[in-house]
Structure 1
Amino acid sequence: MTKCEISIKMMNSTTPSPSLGYLTAHQLENLVKEHHRSGWKSLHMEEAFHLFNKMLTAKPKPSIFTFNLLLIAISRMRNKQHYPTLLSFFNQMHQAGGINTDTHTYNILIDCCCRMNQVNMGFCVFSGMLKRGWSPNTVTFNTLIRGLCSKVDITDAIHLFEIMPKVGCTPNLITYNTLIKGLCDSQNTSLALEWHKKMVAQGIQLKPDLITYSTIIDGLCKEGATEKALELVQEMIDKRIAPNVFTYNTIINGFCRKGDIQSAFKLFEEMNEISITPDIVTFNTIINGCCKVGSFDKVSQTFKEMLARGLTPSVFTYSSMIDALCKGGAMDKAYEIFQQMVDTGIEPDSITYTSLIHGHSILGQWKKAFELFKEMVDRGLAPNTITYTAIMSSLCKEGKSSEVI
């Protein structure tokens, strides 16, 4: 692995704690456990900082288990701004002495590094863990594999997976699912299928679950292999793993991307038959798919059904319809949908305006296109490349390119 140096600036607090006076190690442990039982819902970073300082200076100090609970709480805040503080806490624990960090402590720290996208730093912590005589466990490897996959470093992720049994760590469902997701995200779905087969070959000891199948199905659909994705759905059902709305939404989207609306509707009907309730994503996907192939009758039918089910259309729903109508030159109908959207309290976004601008540009209506462009900017919406291309195209046709500043 790449060599690295860890240099973490120590953080000090000069703010006195308004709520924590002198507490014994036992009292501190009880306080941390109480927070842990409540899910740390009331914990803020300032309080965590004061609590840590109290624990660090207590005589005797609380157990490493107590320190780990606090470190876990900070890491679960999922705020990248807090991760350097967590690393600083770890350094202070080592410098204070009398605190025997364990494998769990290192796992928390490695996870922190990986979530900061500092995977190399994570491996430095891993190296320090080994030097201090602590053995990694499956969680350690799972975390590092996830970090490598997030960097699309699949070769090293597979290498790490292969090392696990050699050091007495057994890959579990999370290990396989993490690696399979990494393979699918890096467009190596065929290799992901091979790893899926390896899981199945494990027999009763390790079985693919809904996450495994959903991940591969998503990867297959992104590559256009919708028929193979359907085969996996059938395999799921055969193994008594029930597909959910996400599974169906994924394949419906796959068919819509290919322009196969008939197959998309077939799956939509199948959802109703097996009591899987379509959600806003399902309807948006089908509406968008129908719009792209110009099937406006089906758009209207699907939109009405969506409303009948009590679902609220989103800006994406309206923008999809407006975009399709604009591309077809049906500007009056597009503005009807636009007005309906505004009347329901949904604010148009940059995509909505870009579609209208593009529609007027196609019809050579440069003045209207430019008016919409100005209105869009006045609303604080940022034009994108397509917006600029449409407005420039419209103005250039009329020799008005100097109008754009």
Structure 2
Amino acid sequence: DAAREAIAAGDPGSARTAAEARARTMLQPVVNATGVLLHTNLGRAPLAASTDGRASNIELDLASGKRGSRTAHAGALLARAMDAEAAIVVNNCAAAVLLTLAALAGGGRGVAVSRGELVEIGGGFRVPDVMAQSGARLIEVGTTNRTRAADYRSAMDVDDDLALLLKVHRSNYTISGFTEETSVAALAQLGPPVVVDLGSGLLDAGCPWLDHGPPSWLAEEPAAKQTLKAGADLVLFSGDKLLGGPQAGVIAGRADLVRACAAHPLYRAFRPGALVLSALQDVALAYLDRSAGRLPFWRMAAAEVDDLESRAHRIVEGLAGSAGAEVVSCASVPGGGTLPGVEIPSAGVAVAGDRTGELRAWSPPVIARVEDDRTILDLRTVEPDDDEVVVAALRALDGA
């Protein structure tokens, strides 16, 4: 196409430049040196997945030869990993919320939500809007900063068709000061099913897949296993955030409620295909055999600062003075709408000025950030195998 357009314009020599520019608009691997572990613009959790090109038994029961269910693979394994009765997978957490509300509270039934949890996340996703699309009826309780169990109880007293109590984790902002919120355990005592939208998807607060337990910066993050144990009937979360898997949404908890979601017509519209389910199955198996620490996200999250500093020194030494690079201490962030305000100590390499455009033009593109008129390449989010790519990209800056 680029060649035809260049010839038609009377400038055939521009075809290569046009073709290269067009190629750069295609999906391709990049080196994430931003320090944002779950960078939404870069696909959130990095994950290597492959298939051998054969068909799969996505909906075939191999024992009987009859039609099976796509909920029997990744969903069942994830349920086991968090001690849930059952789980199903949809294409993202927004779909999980919409499907749950439509299946369990559609037709105008009431859903009570704290005013302090009527959140908006990236892309304009607002809880009240999703509620309206689902056919459920929003019942606001409490105030922005303080919501008590009595507020939910009052809503139950005046509404004889209240179907659910919905608790939404404020994963992308915080409320501090004169605050109070109702725990999952307290909500579970009130009667109606409790649905908790965890969003970020930490599977188990104990992080048994990590040799040294959970990082300190995860201390306040609610986890699926413990939320269910506290009394939630369903938990909803993303697959591509703290779970470290592909883009997906998970609905897990009581088997009867999960079945109701799977039986709703929207499930067919929201269900993922074999590629996503296969990748998520591998992730679930990694949690079950305690090897999830080897998932790319958890390798980044658990990296020791001393190791990052050592890598940074090797990079600067490899540059031998090129680009004026120096080793710096810096701070990474979880990203992806998770853990607002949390910073993770890190180390990286800095060069003077804003050189991000030149780094993006490298092959593969290196994505960095600018702070205080310096370009920072945060090594927490760079795979060690890509350190040589960083060296080559920085060395090329001298000839730019």
**TM-score normalized by the length of structure 1:** 0.28
With CA pairs under 8 Å and 6+ residues apart, which has the higher RCO, 1 or 2?
2
More strand by percentage: 2
Determine which structure has more spread, i.e. the larger CA radius of gyration: 1
**TM-score normalized by the length of structure 2:** 0.28
More helix by percentage: 1
